[in-house]
Structure 1
Amino acid sequence: MSQTALPPAPQPVLGLPDPGEKVPQLAWPTAALYAGTLALFAAEAYGVLAGDWSRWLTVPIGAAVTFLMFSVLHESTHHAISTNTRVNDAFGHLSMPFVVLWTTFPVVKFIHIEHHRNTNEPMTIDPDNWTSAGPAWQLPLRWATIDLWYLVFYLKGIAHRPRQEAALALTTFVVVIAGMTVGMTTGYAAEILWLYLIPQRIGLVVLAWWFDYLPHHGLTVTQRENKYQATRVRVGGEFWLTPLFVYQNYHLVHHLHPSVPFYRYVRAWRRNEQAYLDRNAAISTWFGRSLTPTEYRTWRRLTDDLGPTPDRASAQRPVFHPLRVRSVARLTEDSTVVTFDVPADLEHEYRYVQGQHITLRAVIDGADVRRSYSIIEPVSANTLRVAVKRIEGGVFSTYVHRDLVADDILDVMSPTGRFHLALDASARRSYVAVAAGSGITPLMSIIATTLEAEPESTFTLVYGNRTPRSAMFGPQLDALAGDRLTVHHVLSRTPGAPLEGRVTAELVHELAPHDVDAWFLCGPQELVDSLSASIDGTVLTEVFHTEPSQVEVGVDIESQVTVALDGVETTFGLRSTGDTILDAAMQQGLEPPYSCAGGACGTCRAKVLLGKAVMDQNHALDEDEIATGYVLTCQAHPVSEELRIDYDA
């Protein structure tokens, strides 16, 4: 299969899926909610008027009455209680006094339908936008005065409302205010305040927050523009949030299908979940983090165990999957440990070998930023955990250090890297590891795994840092030190330290045992290069910073480069002295795997099947891999008229 041009952009999916839920002759759960709330009000009335109950008990009960009765009133406004209009209206009129006593059901019905027609328009058009407008400090005050704003909104347009409706509304307002005034001036002020006014005001705050603010705040798309982006679904904690807040965490379903009874929102969502996701429905977590449809699928797989979602076919090359951050913990003043949750259906893709790394990807300030970090846990722990050291001016490390929190979603590439040796339980070997700064991260897994898998082997670690406080995993390493692990801390900015200064080849050879079976070197390129040159025997290296360089390719030809990725071949022209193969492939709209783009991580490895390519530098491939035909495409240039490479090989 071959392609030479990008496929046409996908067209937006239009149309409204059938919710599959109809209005019943009578929504018995809604009727039961009314009856139960009425009984709750009776209990509150008894507690206030006769039972001398604590205000700490009666006020929450009264607030719950307002909240729950609004759910009945809300269903009535959308004819979601019965196929019989009179039954709907009856429940609307009967529930109205328990929500807002001084207006009428037709007024609330009109105002609420205006909200549905004009969602996210200015508050002079969408009355419910009152709850989100203004600075943050005003919001609780706005929630507490939502009914007063409704009154203002209605009066502004009262001339265009039916005369009978307007007259009844004004009469109701005057009669109720007058009645309350008389009651409060004739010795019943306490009863009116504690039975109705105070609980009702608290209930309105919760209503405005839950029914209006949470589903809509921060969304700028209007109902007219895109109904799937004008209201959101909130996920997380649904076992208790869904019944507690009367299913309004699925408020988007209500806006899409207003006549569906509230207790059927979840069924409607589950029935059309893929269709809603295809339409890019607005979704966020309970904690307020927006989720893309891909992230939502991951969230569901992780938190609700709703069964597997469609995923990509497994491949030999590394691929990204969105994973949820389980925890973010400070390790030192300038380093952070991040742990990821891996869903069961992806566990096989995230099995790792000691010394391997993962690439993290995030959009930061509008840019796609990727960085590779070593897995720090032993293989036996089967835990995807990395440590990130903050680098001055480092975009990704600053983001992790400052902004990343638990329950965020990050794109995580499956593990890669060959910074390890095959282990043998019967072996009796002596290993030496040299690390500087964050170069300790892959060695945490290598040392722990090796000592577990080879009970007779020993490790010597020479670890360079500025101060004890800046040493990542310093206390943990000291706790592990013993007969089989010797740790030497070399401190460059700690006067009087037992080993003061920088890590040098002379110092390493002085501290290392005489017979060493294998060396692991991880740190800056200069340190790794100087140590490698002084060692005979098996040496494995990994650098976390490389100096850019470019070799003279010796030719300047136009090569026809064919790149195989996910079984699809793409051909394009590329000069030998031009961009790297990786850069050229991305300019063609391809998404090959890559991370550091500096020849250090090996993520962009691909195999040359035909022709020849040369690399500017290489710090990731060994001699056997190069002999087999592998190149780092971030460093490779074609030097033959035709070049075919395969990322999947």
Structure 2
Amino acid sequence: MSDFHKLTVSAVDSLTPNSVALTFDIPTALKATFSYVAGQYITIKHSLNGEELRRAYSISSAPSSGKLTVGIKKVEGGSFSVYANEEIKTGDLLEVMPPEGRFTFEAKQTTQNIAAFAAGSGITPIMSIAQTVLENNDTNRFVLVYGNQNPKETMYHGEIKKLQDTYGERFAVQWVYSRSSEPNCLFGRIETSTVNLIVKNKFKELDFDNFYLCGPEAMINLVSDALKGNGVSEAKIHFELFTASEAEETIAEDLDGKTQIEVLVDDESFSFEMDQRHIILDEVLKKDIDAPYSCQGGVCSSCIARVTEGSAKMVKNQILTDSEVAEGLILTCQAHPTTPTLKVDYDDV
């Protein structure tokens, strides 16, 4: 199911001193495979020093562009992000999984007013969504609140300015800088007061259809709570974590049994016994089963599977809805088996 394809890097563009945009050449035969919806991500697989790395990166280009571009910010102490910023060059081949993800914009024929709150590299999927919203209907409006340290470290700063020039009042930006005081920009971080400024003051005349939040978990939780405090329904709030806080692992402390597990992947069935204190995906990968995965941190949605017999409990879940969990879906990178037998189906999702 981990269906990777070798793609050629057609462009490497510097976004900031610590981030780059990689654009891939998509062969004609793979155009349909790599078609995407605004807001989705790709997973890149690469081996460094004998270790296989998988990293999920949101697509920043709009589907209408005919391009597949991702923005990658260098992470201190990171592996692939440092490699991408310092060594990848035009013409290199990388293994890429087709686009996936649920943080997407659904176009409609009626006018839509959309707002987004992003911090740092959380801007990448928002760039694709914003462009698509504005292209979809010439009456659509898009409001972006974007937090960074300073303009120099702001990914896609130039591209955002171009959107302002192209779409005028239909595209509004509220810049927020934590280490630089700039004209007509807010100083500090995105706070509850920032949300109130947008919905109660600057754009109080707009009835927003949806809000898209992307960035660190703390920022997402703060903005989400502030929006709900302003009467916004949870159904209108969509988010994608770029970094998540560490959840305290307490589930394993209460487990000491063994589980006979059956895993279905690509219509093949695999069976083995595992310790309930261990994570399902970890044990699946140890058995060399080609299950889908990417971040292994509960941030993306690549490893979702359905429990068809038995039960499993997740350490954390910021992706699946309550109804999806009730239907048996789990993030296998976060789940412990809790019954003597368990059947997990990666195909039925």
State the TM-score, normalizing by the size of structure 2.
0.91
Instruction: Deviation per CA, 1:444-476: give whole Å up to 9, x if none.
Output: 001111111233221110000111111111121
1:606 Cα deviation from its structure 2 partner? 1.1
Tell me what 2:209 maps to: 517
Query: SS in structure 2 opposite 1:583?
Result: helix
Give the SS at the match of 2:208: coil
Specify whether residues 382 and 628 from structure 1 end up closer, same or farther in structure 2 by C-alpha distance, changes over 3 A only.
Answer: farther
1:543 aligns with 2:229: no
1:404 and 2:88 are equivalent in the alignment: yes
Residue in 2 aligned with 1:344? 28
Rounded to whole Å, the distance in 2 between the matches of 1:619 and 1:365 is 32
**Matching residue of 2:223:** 531
Aligned residue runs from structure 1 range 411-430, under 5 A = 411-425=95-109, 427-430=110-113
- What is the 5 A alignment of 1:218-237? none
- 1:496 CA drift (Å): 4.7
- Aligned position for 2:137: 454
Alignment pair present for 1:567 and 2:267:
yes
1:518 alignment partner AA: N
Q: 1:598 and 1:490 mapped to 2: Cα distance? A: 28
Q: Is residue 318–residue 603 contact of structure 1 (8 Å, CA) maintained in 2?
A: no
Tell me if structure 1 keeps the 8 A contact 2:2–2:290.
Answer: no
- The aligned counterpart of 2:40 is 356
**2:60–2:70 contact (8 Å) kept in structure 1:** yes
What residue in structure 2 maps to residue 490 of structure 1?
176
d(CA) in 2 for partners of 1:589, 1:464: 41
Give the distance between the partners of 1:604 and 1:455, measured in 2 at CA.
38
Cα 1:446–1:496 shift into 2, 3 Å: closer
Provide the rounded CA distance (Å) in 1 between the counterparts of 2:250 and 2:117: 29
Q: How does 1:74-113 map to 2 (within 5 A)?
A: none
* Partner secondary structure for residue 534 of structure 1: helix
Match runs of 1:42-61 below 5 Å: none
Report the counterpart of residue 257 of structure 2 in structure 1: 557
Tell me which protein shows more strand as a share of its residues: 2
Q: Residue type matched to 1:527 in 2? A: M
- For residue 335 of structure 1, what is the aligned residue in structure 2? 19
Contact 1:478 1:487 in 2 (8 A): no
Q: Could you tell me how far apart the structure 1 residues matched to 2:142 and 2:267 are?
A: 43
- The aligned runs of 1:19-168 (5 Å cut-off) are none
Give identity over the alignment, percent: 37
Q: Which has the higher contact order (CA 8 A, sep 6+)?
A: 2
The 2-side partners of 1:354 and 1:568 are apart by: 32
Greater helix proportion: 1
Counterpart position of 1:253: none
Deviates more, 1:618-627 or 1:474-483: 618-627
Give the alignment partner of residue 152 of structure 2, picking from 463, 466, 469.
469
**1:587 aligned partner:** 286
1:506: how far off?
1.8
Does structure 2 retain, via aligned residues, the 8 Å contact 1:318–1:414? no
CA contact (8 A) 2:217 2:242 kept: yes
**Distance change in 2, residues 1:614/1:470 (3 Å):** same
Alignment of 1:299-338 (within 5 A): 319-338=3-22
Note closer, same or farther for the CA distance 1:496–1:422 as it changes in structure 2 (3 Å cut). closer
Contact kept? 2:210, 2:237, Cα under 8 Å = yes
Residues 268-288 of structure 1: per-residue CA shift (max 9 Å, x gap): xxxxxxxxxxxxxxxxxxxxx
Give 2:159's aligned amino acid: Q
Provide, for residues 73-104 of structure 1, a one-character-per-residue CA deviation record: whole Å limited to 9, x for no partner: xxxxxxxxxxxxxxxxxxxxxxxxxxxxxxxx
Q: Which amino acid aligns with 1:386?
A: V
- 1:85 aligned residue: none
Note the 1:246-395 alignment, pairs <5 A: 319-395=3-79
After TM superposition, where is structure 1 displaced by more than 6 Å over at least 4 residues in a row? none
- Post-superposition offset of 1:393: 1.2
Question: For the residues of structure 2 that align with 1:444 and 1:496, how far apart are their CA atoms?
Answer: 22
CA contact (8 A) 2:317 2:331 kept: yes
* 1:636 shift after superposition: 0.8
CA distance in 2, matches of 1:621, 1:421: 17
After superposition, what is the alpha-carbon deviation per residue over 1:399-452, rounded to whole angstroms, capped at 9, x for unaligned? Answer: 011111111111101111100242112x22221100000000000001111111
Work out the CA distance in 1 between the residues paired with 2:2 and 2:284.
17
Structure 2: unaligned runs, 5 residues or longer: none
1:602 has 2:301 as partner:
yes
TM-score scaled by length of structure 1: 0.50
Distance 2:96 2:212 in 1: 26
Question: Which letter maps to 2:36?
Answer: Y
Q: Compute the displacement of 1:318 (Å).
A: 5.5
Instruction: Work out the CA distance in 2 between the residues paired with 1:351 and 1:488.
Output: 31
Q: 1 CA distance for matches of 2:260 and 2:284?
A: 12
Separation in structure 2 between the aligned mates of residue 614 and residue 529 of structure 1, nearest angstrom: 23
2:334 — aligned with what? 635
Structure 1 SS opposite 2:100: coil
Tell me the amino acid that sits aligned with residue 543 of structure 1: L
- Structure 1: 5+ residue stretches without partners: 1-316
What pairs up with 1:604-623 in 2 under 5 angstroms? 604-623=303-322
CA RMSD of aligned residues (A): 1.6
Contact in 1 for aligned 2:2/2:293 (Cα 8 Å): no
Using the TM superposition, give the Cα deviation of residue 485 of structure 1 relative to its aligned residue in structure 2, in angstroms: 0.9
* Superposed CA offset, 1:281-327 (max 9, x none): xxxxxxxxxxxxxxxxxxxxxxxxxxxxxxxxxxxx56211111112
8 Å contact 1:559–1:642 — kept in the other structure? Answer: yes
Q: Is the 8 A contact 2:23 2:69 kept in 1?
A: yes
Is the aligned partner of 1:440 residue 2:123?
yes
Deviation at 1:551, TM superposition (A): 4.2
Cα deviation, residue 341, structure 1: 1.3
Alignment check: 8 A CA contact 1:375 1:386 kept: yes
Counterpart Cα distance in 1 of 2:325 and 2:35: 25
Q: Helix, strand or coil for the counterpart of 2:89?
A: coil
Residue identity opposite 2:154 in structure 1: A
Q: 1:505 aligns with which of 192, 207, 210?
A: 192
Q: Give the 3 Å change call, closer, same or farther, for CA 442–455 of structure 1 in structure 2.
A: same
Matches of 1:519 and 1:488, distance apart in 2: 15
- 1:594 is displaced (CA, Å) by 1.2
SS of the residue aligned with 2:158? helix
